[in-house]
Amino acid sequence: MSASTATNTVETEPMLAPHGRLGMWMFLASEVVVFGGLLASYIFARLRHSSWDEFASQTMTSIGCINTVLLLTSSLFIVLSHHWAERKDIKKSGKYMLWAILLGVLFLVFKGYEYQHEFAKGITPLTNLFWSYYFFITGLHALHIVIGLVINALTLREIRKGQNLQRVEVAGLYWHFVDVVWIFVFPLFYVAS
Partner 1 sequence: MTSHQSNFWNYYIFSKDHKMIAKQYLITGLIMALLGGLMAYVFRMQLAFPGEAVPGFGDVDSGTYNQLITLHGTIMVFWVGMPILLGAFGNFLIPLMIGADDMAFPTLNMMSYWTFFVSTLVLLASFFVEGGPASSGWTAYPPLSARPEYSGVMWGMNLWILAVALEFFSVLMGGVNYLTTTFNMRTKGMKFSRMPMFVWMQLAATVNFMFSVGPLIAGALMLLLDRTIGTSFFVPDKGGDPLLYQHLFWFFGHPEVYVLLLPSLGIVAEIIPTFSRKPLFGYKMILISTAFSSVLAFMVWAHHQFISGMDPRMAMPFGLLTIIISVPFAVVLFAYIATLWKGSITFTTPFLFAIAMIAEFLIGGVTGIINGAAAADIYVHDTYYVVSHFHFTLVPITIFGMLAGVYYWFPKFFGRMMNETLGKIHFWITAITFNVIFIPLLQMGMGGHQRRIPDPTEFEYLKGMMGMHKTATIALIILLIAQAFFIFNFFYSMYKGKKAEANPWKSTTLEWDAPSPPVAHGNFEVIPKVYRGPYEYSVPGCKQDWSPQSAETVN
Q: Which is nearer to partner 1, 39 or 76 (CB)?
A: 39
Shortest spacing between CB 51 and partner 1, in angstroms: 9
Indicate whether 147 belongs to the interface with partner 1 (CB under 8 A).
no
Distance CA 165, CA 155 (A): 8
Indicate whether 12 belongs to the interface with partner 1 (CB under 8 A).
yes
Which among 26-34, 77-85, 149-157, 159-167 is the span making contact with partner 1, rule CB under 8 A? 26-34
Q: Which is nearer to partner 1, 65 or 143 (CB)?
A: 143
| Size of the residue set binding partner 1 (CB under 8 A) | 40
Distance CA 193, CA 175 (A): 28
Which among 83-91, 124-132, 146-154, 163-171 is the span making contact with partner 1, rule CB under 8 A? 124-132
CA atoms within 13 A on the CB side of 112: 9
Distance CA 18, CA 15 (A): 7
Indicate whether 140 belongs to the interface with partner 1 (CB under 8 A).
yes
Q: Cα torsion at 185, 117, 136, 143 (round to 10°)?
A: 80
Q: Which is nearer to partner 1, 61 or 132 (CB)?
A: 132
Indicate whether 45 belongs to the interface with partner 1 (CB under 8 A).
yes
Indicate whether 16 belongs to the interface with partner 1 (CB under 8 A).
yes
CA distances to 86, 90, 145 from 99, in Å: 18, 14, 15
Q: Which residues contact 107 (CB under 8 A, 6 or more apart)?
A: 67, 70, 71, 74, 145
Indicate whether 47 belongs to the interface with partner 1 (CB under 8 A).
no
* CB contact at 8 A, 124 and 55: no
Rounded CA Rg of the chain: 19
Q: Which is nearer to partner 1, 31 or 89 (CB)?
A: 31
Distance CA 31, CA 71 (A): 18
Q: Which is nearer to partner 1, 49 or 87 (CB)?
A: 49
Q: Which is nearer to partner 1, 9 or 120 (CB)?
A: 9
Binding residues (CB under 8 A) for partner 1: these are: 1-3, 6-7, 10-13, 15-17, 19, 22-23, 26-27, 29-38, 40-41, 44-45, 49, 125-126, 128-129, 132-133, 136, 140
